[in-house]
Structure 1
Amino acid sequence: MTRLSFPAVIAAACLVASAASAEQYVARIDAPFPGANARLLESLKIVELDIFEHAGAAYVVIEAPDEGYVEAYFFALHLTPEELLMLQADWNAPGLSGLPLEQRLPFLTPTGCGYCTS
């Protein structure tokens, strides 16, 4: 291994480790919205994975380091989620993303949310 490639390997390992530590959340919100602006998402270290409607409710799927970042995201958007759920699998993984929405929803589990309306 050359000297130049060793730092690249270290950097790649750090990126993989930090990406692996992120959690995925699904929030039910009272109305659809177009998503947050890129600068807000970057500053909060949040990735919007999906925004969809199902059974008359709007949902946003986000990836964040932890629930504190999720709370800051909704505070910055002036939105109060009705419910917050954790995803027990990767929303964009080939196995899960290929399923119809109704079959993906069972992978969600409720999580405590002191700032949600329900």
Structure 2
Amino acid sequence: MESSQNEKLARFLTSRSHYSPGNRVVKARAFMPHDEELSVFCVAGLPYSDIVALGDNLNLPPQRRLHGHAILGEKQVIDKDLSVARDDSPPRHANIRGWPPEKHQRLAIAQDLAAAADLFVHSA
């Protein structure tokens, strides 16, 4: 699917190490891919409550909980020579692909994406 680059992407934060509530910033760790892809959700046009509901419906393991989400523009991802591949499994789901193989390069990209993202901490 061709992108308009206007999509807003939500990265759900499932670890306290993904953000700093005191500084109101998203940390690079939130955008570090575990393998070759990073899971996000396409949320353009959704109100805050619907984004929270998407996160609440994640099938998280019992030891993880949803802390909040980070919102990033698809353009920031594409500007880093990455791509967004929507698969809608579950609905609105996509993966950020095209990560370089070297960890230091991935970290540099993750730092830039985190700096560009807006943090939303969910109430407990």
TM-score category, normalised to shorter length: 0.3 to 0.5
Please report the TM-score for the alignment, with normalisation by the length of structure 1.
0.41
More helix, by proportion: 1
Q: Which has the larger radius of gyration?
A: 1
